[in-house]
Amino acid sequence: DRTALHVLMADEAYPIGPGPSRESYLDLERVIETAQRVRADAIHPGYGFFAESAAFARACEAAGIVFIGPAPETIEALGDKLAAREAARAAGVPLVPGTPGPVDSLAAARAAAKTIGYPVMLKAAAGGGGKGMRMVRAARQLDAAWTLTRGEAAAAFGDDRMYLERAIERPRHIEAQILADGRGRVVFLGERECSVQRRHQKLLEETPSPLFDARRRAAFGAAACRIAKQVGYRGAGTVEFIVDARGAFYFLEVNTRLQVEHPVTEMVTGLDLVAEQVRIAEGRGFSFGARPPAPRGWAMETRIIAEDPARQFMPSVGRIERVRFPQGPGVRNDAGVYRGYEIPIYYDSLLAKLVVWGEDRERARKRLARALREFVLEGVHTNIAFHRWLVEHPEFAAGRLSTGFLDEHFTAEALAPNREATAVALLAAALHAREERGRVTLPAAANGARRSRWSTETRRIGRPVR
């Protein structure tokens, strides 16, 4: 990624290995050695690679380098989903009914599922990022799901411990952004609605949630802060919850890092969350006083990804031939691409985050729709057209969301070109080309009025007038 935008813009950049992440960004010793060589005071881990690695945080401490994030012990405790559930239980936060600990055999899983009641979620204790989890709707599906999920967990996390929870049907996924100064003070910076997902991966986020009123929001934020205090949290973190149709929320997990979707919180609070992380790591606490800024307005973020929604979201690689970012008040582009950039095969396919702000949800939604229409990125397939479809969908516009939104409403045919609109566009292009060549003459009507250009020109190029 030597031609990546962040490398080109850096004051100093140092190679740490070849393209594959295991030989570079996930080579702990090489990263620490490079940081020591350049005399780095601190490392910000971002939101990938070592962002939630207790081993990396410990290595930083051992090398005398500040890790901008929670303490290693906190990362370790919250990275284990069963330990995190116990912390939530101790903090008095609601939990989805499930097994109190890991189930160590298929027979135990069968018994637990029968007690909990189907459908159930089979989850990896060390899982995260939507990996190592599977819904099981009936007893006949459990054996195969157990084998598959346990194997995935062992391969992805080196830990095949599993537990079960009751599955919440058509849930919403809502998360709380918190900041903790490491000295006992924890603040809630509002919730983010992250229900629009594909295979447990978030596609669009917004704040606030259209589901919450002030009373429910206060209870939600208080629960998140209790968990953070329970574990002595430090830095920025996200407490994730699953929410049922009645609005009851249940603890899912804690992400001990900055989230991809943090810009929406920044847009409504005016805070720079990365700057807050740095201040906390320096021991200076928050940039604000007794209370954080009250959120104002509404913000939405779409993840622009190199993939083809018309072909089951197949990843796309290649060269960016043309790019034009949308502009205007309330529009923010967090992008890492430019014309001529070759998308590498080794890393995440996220190209840009398009973020908008509006006075209310409908204004934000319309601004996002307009920005997506203006967004041009050619050379590779992207999901821009998918996001256009999404924000214009009546159910999305009404705020009726769930993690099953795409399963219920999206098909590849939804992105098929509108033949009538395409015909009109081609006709307009043909007319423009003829006019540019100076061949267009518009005869006057018998009464002196000019005929319709559409009527005249369709006749001139041999198209029927309807």
Same domain for 382 and 325: yes
CB-CB contact of 103 with 109 (8 Å):
yes
Domain that holds residue 303: 172-415
Distance from the Cα of residue 432 to its chain's centroid: 41
Structure tokens at 460: 């001139």
Q: Could you tell me the CATH number of the domain that includes residue 109?
A: 3.30.1490.20
Shared domain check, 112 and 208:
no
Domain match, 225 and 328 both: yes
The per-residue pLDDT for 129 is 66
Q: What is the predicted pLDDT for the residue at 41?
A: 97
Among 128, 120, 23, 122, smallest CA distance to 75 is for 128
Residues 371 and 280 in one domain: yes
CA torsion angle for 130, 131, 137, 139 (degrees, to 10)? -160
10 Å CB burial of residue 198 (0-12, 13-18, 19+) is buried
Catalytic hit among 85, 134, 161, 257: 257
pLDDT of residue 418: 56
In a domain, 92, yes or no: no
The pLDDT score that the predictor gives to residue 454 is 46
Q: Are 149 and 120 in contact (CB under 8 A)?
A: no
The reply to whether 362 and 423 lie within a common domain is no
Choose the final residue of a domain: 166, 181, 210.
166
- b/e per residue 44-69 (b: at least 16 CB within 10 A): bbeebbbbbbbebbbbbeeeebbbbb
Q: Which of 166, 191, 209 is at the close of a domain?
A: 166
Q: How far is the C-alpha of 362 from the C-alpha of 253, rounded, in Å?
A: 30
pLDDT tens, the chain, 466 aa long: 889 999 999 999 999 999 888 999 999 999 999 999 999 999 999 988 999 999 999 999 999 999 999 999 999 999 998 999 999 999 999 999 999 889 999 999 999 999 999 999 999 988 776 778 999 999 999 999 999 999 999 988 889 999 999 999 899 999 999 999 999 999 999 999 999 999 889 999 999 999 999 999 999 999 999 999 999 999 999 999 999 988 999 999 999 999 999 999 999 999 999 999 999 999 999 999 989 999 999 999 999 999 999 898 999 999 999 999 999 999 999 999 999 999 988 888 899 999 999 999 999 999 999 999 999 999 999 999 999 999 999 999 999 999 999 999 998 788 876 555 666 767 777 777 777 676 544 444 444 444 444 443 433 444 444 4
Residue 83 lies in a domain: no
Distance of alpha carbon 267 from alpha carbon 282, whole angstroms: 24
State the CATH number of the domain containing residue 72.
3.40.50.20
Note whether 214 and 291 are same-domain residues: yes
**d(C-alpha 364, C-alpha 356), whole Å:** 6
Tell me the C-alpha distance between 278 and 179, whole Å: 12
Q: At 437, list the tokens.
A: 């060549």
Residue 89 lies in a domain: no
Tell me what pLDDT residue 465 has: 40
- Domain assignment of residue 88, yes or no: no
* Same domain for 429 and 385: no
Q: Is residue 455 part of a domain?
A: yes
Q: Are 162 and 186 contained in the same domain?
A: no
Read off the CATH number of the domain in which 208 is found: 3.30.470.20
Instruction: Report how far residue 335's alpha carbon sits from residue 160's, in angstroms, rounded to the nearest whole number.
Output: 36
Q: Are residues 117 and 176 both part of a single domain?
A: no
Residue 352: per-residue pLDDT: 97
Give the torsion sign (CA, 24, 26, 28, 31).
Answer: positive
Query: Does 90 map to a domain?
Result: no
**What pLDDT score does 439 carry?**
52
> Looking at the domain assignment, is residue 94 inside a domain?
no
Choose one of 166, 190, 222: the last residue of a domain: 166
Q: What pTM did the predictor assign?
A: 0.83
Distance from C-alpha of 97 to C-alpha of 94, rounded to nearest angstrom: 9
Structural domain tally of the chain?
A: 4
Contacts by 285-290 with C-beta closer than 8 Å and gap 24+?
285/181, 285/183, 285/185, 286/179, 286/181, 286/185, 286/187
Residues 105, 211: one domain?
A: no
Q: Is residue 216 part of a domain?
A: yes
165 to 101, 105, 132, 138, 205: CA distances (angstroms) = 11, 16, 13, 14, 25
Residues 42 and 106 in one domain: no
Same domain assignment for residues 377 and 348: yes
Tell me, yes or no, if 257 is annotated catalytic. Answer: yes
Q: How far is CA 164 from the centre of its chain?
A: 25
Q: What is the pLDDT of residue 421?
A: 60
Beta bridge partners of 323: 377
